[in-house]
Amino acid sequence: MLILLTAVLTVATAYAQSVDDPSRAPGRARRALAATQKYRDAGDHERAVAVLTETLIDHPENDHHLLRLHLALSLRHLGRDAEALEHLNLAAELEPRSRDVQLTRAGAALATGAYGIAAVALEAAWRLQPEEGPALLHDAVVARLLADDASGAATLADEFLDIAGQPNVEQLRTVLTAAVYAAMPALARRAAERCITIHADDPEAWILVSQARQSVDDLTGAAAALEAADWLRPLSPADRSRLGDLLFAAGVPAMAAAQYAEVFGTAPDGDQAERLASAWMAAHRYDDAALVLQAITSTSPNARLWALLGDVRLEQERYAQAAAAYRSSLALSSDDDIQARLRHCEIMAE
């Protein structure tokens, strides 16, 4: 993925450690909670599960979200996340205003890969206490992405940008990922603008801006952002290669070739040699292109590279050399277009 991103979601275990006040529960439920608290405190979660399950079965009229929540907490300690999630879903129906239920529900949902439920729970938890900051809303965006809900992710990402005062680069990367997957260029531009405003001295921010601009087909702007990142810190080989691709697509092949040459070195492989030679050729630097292709065809010949060398020699009007290159290409793979070019060169060479 694009882009995909490559995004990471962590729900802190502290989310599940806080529970609602048991004194709010009705009598029988409150007594069951008190009776099982000593087991939970001692780490005997099997016994706690048994007592709470028996209470729910024998006295369904006393069903309460806190019973379900405490049962789910013990089940999670035992590694029984799927069962815990069932009880947490019921707890959320019984009391949707319980932030502790929603946060614990999000943790269980993530543990079982139920990302859609996790997204709903994280968003609900944030809306119950938005003054805690936008981190949960960001996590809800990531969960939406993991659930393949690009539209929902982008809607939440747009809201996140509205309320997040100083989002970090990784949070902005999440917003951009949502924008790209949901095909929302305006959101991608907003993420890029915020990145430049807040993190102008961070090379990772400029790399993100480059991705944002590329997503809206601003190839020149994407290349410029990568060049800014390179000024702050030398680009990785992958990013320098992408800079070459952007410069080539933006119509400056000589600059693209310079980037390719730096990252590919003196012994490029076949695909790298083709990209480098194509850039030199587009820049009308035919001798440079020929040097690259002669070197690679002497060690790793293939039909495409021989044909490209033939094209270079044809541009130089060196018809005999072009014909020889086309013959080498045809010896490896038949191609009607190459055959036609060969006949043309043979006629011109006479």
Q: How far apart are CA 350 and CA 348, in angstroms?
A: 6
Q: Where are the extended beta strands (E) located within the chain? A: none
Residue 153: C-alpha distances to residues 27, 120, 160, 167, 298 (Å):
42, 11, 10, 16, 51
Q: Which distant-in-sequence residues (6+ apart) come within 8 Å of 117 by Cβ?
A: 85, 89, 105, 106, 109
Copy the structure tokens of residue 174.
């999440």
Asked whether residue 288 is assigned to any structural domain, the reply reads no
Q: Which of 129, 147, 175 is the last residue of a domain?
A: 129
Residue 194: C-alpha distances to residues 3, 175, 190 (Å):
19, 11, 6
Selection from 214, 209, 156 nearest residue 182 by Cα: 156
Q: Which of 84, 102, 129 is the last residue of a domain?
A: 129
- pLDDT for 138: 97
Q: Which of 93, 112, 129 is the last residue of a domain?
A: 129
Asked whether residue 61 is assigned to any structural domain, the reply reads yes
Residue 138: C-alpha distances to residues 144, 187, 198, 297 (Å):
10, 15, 18, 51
Could you list the pLDDT tens digit for every one of the 350 residues in the chain?
333 333 333 433 333 334 467 776 777 778 878 878 888 888 888 998 898 888 888 888 778 899 999 999 999 999 999 999 999 999 999 999 999 999 999 999 999 999 999 999 999 999 999 988 899 999 999 999 999 999 999 999 999 999 998 999 999 999 999 999 999 999 999 999 999 999 999 999 999 999 999 999 999 999 999 999 999 999 999 999 999 999 999 999 999 999 999 999 888 899 999 999 999 999 999 999 999 999 999 998 899 999 999 999 999 999 999 999 999 999 999 999 999 999 999 999 87
Asked whether residue 349 is assigned to any structural domain, the reply reads yes
Asked whether residue 162 is assigned to any structural domain, the reply reads no
Q: Which distant-in-sequence residues (6+ apart) come within 8 Å of 106 by Cβ?
A: 11, 15, 117, 118, 121, 122, 125, 139, 143
Neighbours of 317 (CB within 10 A): 10
- pLDDT for 166: 92
Asked whether residue 273 is assigned to any structural domain, the reply reads no
Asked whether residue 322 is assigned to any structural domain, the reply reads yes
Residue 190: C-alpha distances to residues 153, 228, 262, 349 (Å):
15, 19, 33, 58
Asked whether residue 90 is assigned to any structural domain, the reply reads yes
- pLDDT for 266: 80
Domain span including residue 105: 1-129
**What is the phi/psi pair of residue 82, to 5°?**
-65, -45
State the total domains in the chain: 2
- pLDDT for 349: 84
Q: How far apart are CA 261 and CA 290, in angstroms?
A: 14
Asked whether residue 107 is assigned to any structural domain, the reply reads yes
Selection from 23, 16, 147 nearest residue 87 by Cα: 16
- pLDDT for 51: 86
